[in-house]
Chain A
Amino acid sequence: DTEVTQTPKHLVMGMTNKKSLKCEQHMGHRAMYWYKQKAKKPPELMFVYSYEKLSINESVPSRFSPECPNSSLLNLHLHALQPEDSALYLCASSQDRSSGRETQYFGPGTRLLVL
């Protein structure tokens, strides 16, 4: 089983709303990732969690707040977003053996529209 699940699949929110994106995997992976993907562009890394600790933050604005409650779950809390934050948000996971060879498996994404 190489499945990463994400909810919701679609989300429309206003600029004053607070919402959360959720990601789950049951592959025993200890590294989890959030990516943002704009139309016709490759995914851009936002955050990396390794063993439930934030290990990489790619200078993401504070209106995006990640959380890793346990080794299977990853959340992305959204607050006061801008219309330009509209994108496909992808979650991924991988083993974290620091050998550099671990494959990342992606979820289906959440398509976010900020009005």
Chain B
Amino acid sequence: TQLLEQSPQFLSIQEGENLTVYCNSSSVFSSLQWYRQEPGEGPVLLVTVVTGGEVKKLKRLTFQFGDARKDSSLHITAAQPGDTGLYLCAGRISGGYNKLIFGAGTRLAVHP
């Protein structure tokens, strides 16, 4: 079974704190996407990483793809209440024929 383990499942922090979300697998991914989802809405793409060791920044969000392309992390600096939501990582297995493997999601709540 191809699994993508995402942690933590829940995170409740104060405004201004930093946090990191992790996605880990024993499988190699040809690409990995991070999405943010609001309740009742579709996931919105944040970033796609494709190269081992790649680091991408999106304002206060930093995404890293592991050297072996088996893991990824999302780091948020100085979290804001507007960052509240469900964060999903999703990886495409090499040779995976258009199929994404989703992590279970991290539900983030940032309190003012």
Give Cα A102–Cα B100 distance, bound, in whole angstroms. Answer: 10
Q: B45, A108: Cβ atoms under 8 Å?
A: no
Q: A106, B43: Cβ atoms under 8 Å?
A: yes
Q: B40, A100: Cβ atoms under 8 Å?
A: no
Count residues of chain B with CB under 8 A from any CB of chain A. 28
Residue B96 CB within 8 A of the other chain = yes
Q: Which of B31-74 contact A (CB under 8 A)?
A: 31, 33, 35, 40-45, 48, 50
Q: A48, B33: Cβ atoms under 8 Å?
A: no
Q: B102, A88: Cβ atoms under 8 Å?
A: no
Contacts of A105 in B (CB 8 A): 45
Residue B111 CB within 8 A of the other chain = no
B12 to chain A, nearest CB (A): 15
- Complex: chain B residue closest to A33, CB-CB: B98
Q: B42, A48: Cβ atoms under 8 Å?
A: no
Using CB atoms and an 8 Å cutoff, list the residues of chain A in contact with chain B: 2, 4, 6, 31, 33, 40-43, 45, 48, 50, 55-56, 88, 90, 94, 96, 98-109, 111
